[in-house]
Structure 1
Amino acid sequence: MRSLLSGARVRRPARRPASPALRTALATTCLALAVLPSGVAQAAPFRSPLLKTGRLAATSCPEPPIVDGGVPRTREYLTAAVRCLNGSWSAHFAQAGLRFRRPAVRFYEEPAERVCGVPWPTGAAAFYCTERGTLVFPLTGAWIENRTDLYPLKVAAHEYGHHLQSLTGIRDDYETRARSDRTRRAELGRRYELQADCLAGVFLGSVRHSLSRTGQDWRELSEAIRASGDEGEYRTHGTGADRVRWFERGRRALSPAACDTWTATPSLVS
């Protein structure tokens, strides 16, 4: 069975039984491992062409106001963000000789009972429907409502990272290996999510100089990412420290090649 949803969370989840949607996702988040001569278990490397491409070109992506005159402009903000993501990554794929397809985008004023054929995932800020290649953005909620920081742009770029994983064979490889071994599903699910964090960092780094943001804005983003980590029993996206680490790694390197979470030691994907 394939995972249908990959989502970003706003805050640390409580220690509670996993929802049906989460159990479905976790049931497919495993990957065959290789044990190095040193005895350190690591995931076998993926052969995705995305991890062999160079730096993402610097582009301009000025942010529209997310609130204008006291009126929320979340749809306009996210539409502009996706337009920038499409332009940046489509050009990168073309240069690398990779096939590109834009994701579909769906906006919801508030969470619906069902989306993409499954119940709306509990606690998700935004998410990506893998089977339908669709970015799903609720226009309300703590992840975006009344915010003026960079966190909504980072969340959009993270979900777009899942689209890139689907386009370049990472998801297919991941799910094929998942069916062979369920013993490390939580750890390897985190590898998948942390790679999306890293790809988000690559994008935000490439548009950094057009965002008109200060050093304090970037420090606040790091704190928001840290607060989105999961530290409890059900760790699906990684600790706050690891989420910041992989995001910053991508932002500084500006290259998907820096986002090989699959061969990272387990301590870096905790």
Structure 2
Amino acid sequence: MRSLPLTRVLTLAAILASVCLPAPSAQAAPVRNPFPKKAGKLATTSCPETPIVSGGIPRTREYLQTVVKCLDKSWGAYVERAGRTFRKPVVRYFEEPADTVCGMRWPAYADAFYCTERATVVFPLTGRWLENRTDLYPFKVAAHEYGHHLQSLLGIRRSFEVRARADRTHQDQLKRRYELQADCLSGVFLGSVWRSLARSEADWAALLDATRASGDDDGHRTHGKGASRVHWLKRGYGAVSPAACDTWSAPATRVA
């Protein structure tokens, strides 16, 4: 569920178009009030899951298409209430990983990812993250990558990239704040559709376990430890409000 790395330098025009930023800080919010009070919570909607496997035949594409359709509907309404222009992401599905995607090499070890420059969510239809799963982890991964699209629409991503290039000392921590915000936004969506999922508390606990296992505790920490990922997922789920997803002003211990 990792997004693509920052591999292209922003053009001068993009930098000038960016919001005004204070002196570099790993804790300051990259944009002011991306989730205005007038937008409220994410509306409660229905998004029943479709089977990942039906009659012994994989239905992974159909499963993800259903989730994306729900994400478009829910977040589209929210972005419009926030006074922004909503644009659906491009969504691409691959039966197997390709050599290149979005003009770049296919990222290693990615469950799914978001191509920032092309506003494209990429879903491989094979792999342990999706095939034959019975838990909600694929649902959460899709919502996480969609969270990166929201960050682009609301100006968060562009400002984050400018700040990360200017403040290399805190670059990894800034990246974690960015990724953990997407985890929180995925929790917001899950909370908004939970009653329609026909899932139990045991399913929620299983998702938390899977999310905890996806943390980068043993490697280069750009996405957050398992405990951090669980914290922000639960925070979004409980609040059902994007305003709860301010990872940028959170203490360093919450974005470890």
SS across alignment from 1:135:
strand
Equivalent residue in structure 2 for 1:136, among 87, 111, 122: 122
List gaps (5 residues or longer) in structure 1. 1-6, 10-20, 26-30, 35-40
In structure 2, what residue type is equivalent to 1:149? D
TM-score, normalising length from structure 2? 0.90
Query: In the comparison of the two structures, how many residue pairs are matched?
Result: 243
In structure 1, what residue type is equivalent to 2:34? P
Q: In structure 1, what is the Cα distance between the partners aligned to 2:230 and 2:199? A: 18
Inter-CA distance 51–139: structure 2 relative to 1 (3 Å threshold): farther
The sequence identity of aligned pairs, in percent, is 63
List gaps (5 residues or longer) in structure 2. 9-21
SS across alignment from 2:166:
coil
5 Å matches for 1:32-181?
A: 33-34=24-25, 42-44=27-29, 46-50=31-35, 52=37, 53-181=39-167
> Residues 205-260 of structure 1: CA distance to partner in whole angstroms, max 9, x if unpaired?
00000000011000000000000000124111100000000000000000010000
Q: In structure 1, what is the Cα distance between the partners aligned to 2:137 and 2:33? A: 28
Q: In structure 2, what is the Cα distance between the partners aligned to 1:244 and 1:149? A: 16
Kindly indicate whether residue 228 of structure 2 is the aligned counterpart of residue 242 of structure 1: yes
Q: In structure 1, what is the Cα distance between the partners aligned to 2:33 and 2:98? A: 34
Q: Indicate conservation of the 8 Å contact 2:144/2:185, yes or no.
A: yes
Q: Indicate conservation of the 8 Å contact 2:30/2:163, yes or no.
A: no
TM-score, normalising length from structure 1? 0.85
- With a CA cutoff of 8 Å and minimum separation of 6, indicate the structure with the bigger relative contact order: 1
Aligned-pair CA distance for 1:98: 1.9
Aligned-pair CA distance for 1:32: 5.5
Q: Indicate conservation of the 8 Å contact 1:51/1:259, yes or no.
A: no
Aligned-pair CA distance for 1:169: 0.3
Greater strand percent: which structure? 1
Equivalent residue in structure 2 for 1:216, among 202, 223, 231: 202
Inter-CA distance 48–165: structure 2 relative to 1 (3 Å threshold): farther
Inter-CA distance 152–233: structure 2 relative to 1 (3 Å threshold): closer
Inter-CA distance 8–32: structure 2 relative to 1 (3 Å threshold): farther
